[in-house]
Amino acid sequence: MTGSVGDSFIEITRTSGEDGKEYVSLPLQLMVQAAVDCEDTPAPLRRTLTALPWQRRAATTLERAVYSPDRIPEAAAALLALDARVALADGAQVPIIEFFARTSASQSPPASLLLPVDRADCCWGSARVARMSADQPIVAAVAVVKSEGTIVGSARLALIGVCRETVRLSQSVDLLVGKELNAEQIEAAAAAVAQEVSPVSDYLGSAEYRREMAAVLTRRALEQIREGENRL
């Protein structure tokens, strides 16, 4: 598998993470379009990157997408929901959530994105609200759930537009773990999300609206997962 970096092509490889899991490694110099074209790119990331205008996908590197999560906020949300990692130039790895939060101890620059390869029993869902379809989202949600039989093994939910930055919520979706993903649990998780977020009003929407949409869009993302629409 190769991807373009400017005029040249580079190998897209798989690697082991510090957590022992296998990851596909996307160099950050890779153009966004190459990441879209890469068959190992998980669907939620591909879909969110595709929201970037075509011309900009060809001219924007993954590094820029990762370093400027506000420019491609839904891609950042997808990375958070996927539990991606960032490999640094010094060989260290940091979870994407730490990378975005700038809490990593390492000062080394990032080198590549690490995306989990093991996606068995994983489903994802996403939902957004915007003024128009091609506009930036006012609020958006991306969720990834791993099932263990009929119950939720793990769940991750990332949201845009409900805090100062794109965030991954923990408390709300933890309610789902160990339970069946049914309408009642989804409603409970959505209600918890509305409590957990701390939105800020701006010209696109008030805090009240954003809080309500956090719940609505979380519910929709989880319903897609329950219906098994999108396998990772």
Residues of the shown chain interacting with another protein in the complex, contacts defined by CB under 8 A: 6-7, 53-56, 58-59, 129-136, 138, 202-206, 209, 212-213, 216-217
Q: Which is nearer to another protein, 93 or 136 (CB)?
A: 136
* Closest separation in Å from C-beta 12 to another protein: 19
Q: Which is nearer to another protein, 52 or 87 (CB)?
A: 52
Give the position of tokens 């379809």: 133
* Closest separation in Å from C-beta 177 to another protein: 26
* Closest separation in Å from C-beta 77 to another protein: 17
Q: Kindly give, in sequence order, each residue whose CB lies less than 8 Å from that of residue 152, ignoring residues fewer than 6 positions away.
A: 145, 146, 176, 177, 178, 179, 180, 181, 185
Q: Kindly give, in sequence order, each residue whose CB lies less than 8 Å from that of residue 65, ignoring residues fewer than 6 positions away.
A: 32, 49, 52, 71, 72, 75, 76
Helices 43-50 and 73-82: crossing angle in degrees, nearest 10, is 180
Q: Which is nearer to another protein, 107 or 133 (CB)?
A: 133
* Closest separation in Å from C-beta 81 to another protein: 20
* Closest separation in Å from C-beta 206 to another protein: 6
Q: Kindly give, in sequence order, each residue whose CB lies less than 8 Å from that of residue 116, ignoring residues fewer than 6 positions away.
A: 21, 22, 23, 42, 82, 83, 84
φ, ψ dihedrals at 67, nearest 5° = -75, -25
Q: Which is nearer to another protein, 67 or 209 (CB)?
A: 209
Q: Which is nearer to another protein, 96 or 129 (CB)?
A: 129
Alpha-carbon gap, residue 193 to 200, rounded angstroms: 15
* Closest separation in Å from C-beta 86 to another protein: 24
Length in residues, the chain = 232
Alpha-carbon gap, residue 205 to 6, rounded angstroms: 38
Q: Which is nearer to another protein, 59 or 101 (CB)?
A: 59
